[in-house]
Amino acid sequence: MPAAAVVLFNFSNSSYVHRVIELLKSNFNLDSEVIHPLINPSEFYSSERDQYYSTKILEKVIRAYDDRYDKILTLTDHDLFVPVLTFVFGEAQLTGKAAIVSSHRLHQEFYGLPSDDEVLLQRLEKEVLHEIGHTFGLKHCIDWNCVMHSSSNVDEIDIKPKDFCKTCSKKIPSL
């Protein structure tokens, strides 16, 4: 059975890790192992942006765990960016091995709203499925009823379901 690493990079929502592992198993048939890496966050930090460069984090994690796992998912609480965008909820290698998801902008509190653990968990699950979907070669889907539909804000994450449409489902080998 394919193996996955769930790398916790300054991720404080440890109660959600079990749910993420279940998602990886049920949706992609991946057995997962949790890893607490010794990574210095300052390597990826941009003081100009007050954010962390997600592509560089992925590169570091891939170098560390590439030879041991079929897929590598990094979870973080850090606010992420890529140079051409203001922020990203996550990033993945298309048809590759690694993905990263940040919970930073998934929290209701980020938008001045009361904390809601259930909303946070639903958003996190959708983003994990979306980013790992990219590693299986899935591109953004035009179907709003597919988790692979692109989301530029949390409202768009909230609208879409936690499921892959029929077209995307057929492209994932384990589904």
pLDDT value of position 174: 60
Point out the residues of the chain with pLDDT beneath 70: 174-175
Judge contact between 74 and 132, C-beta under 8 A.
no
> For the CA atoms of 70, 153, 45, 125, what is the dihedral angle to 10 degrees?
-30
Of the residues 91, 118, 131, 156, only one is catalytic, namely 131
Query: Which among 85, 90, 83, 103 is positioned nearest to 130, based on CA atoms?
Result: 90
Token pair, residue 140, equals 């953004």
pLDDT value of position 175: 46
The length of the chain is: 175
pLDDT value of position 5: 94
pLDDT value of position 13: 82
How many Å separate Cα 20 from the centre of its chain? 10
Active site residue 131: yes
pLDDT value of position 38: 82
DSSP 8-class letter at 69:
-
pLDDT value of position 55: 97
Q: Which domains does the chain have, with CATH numbers?
A: 3-138 (3.40.390.10)
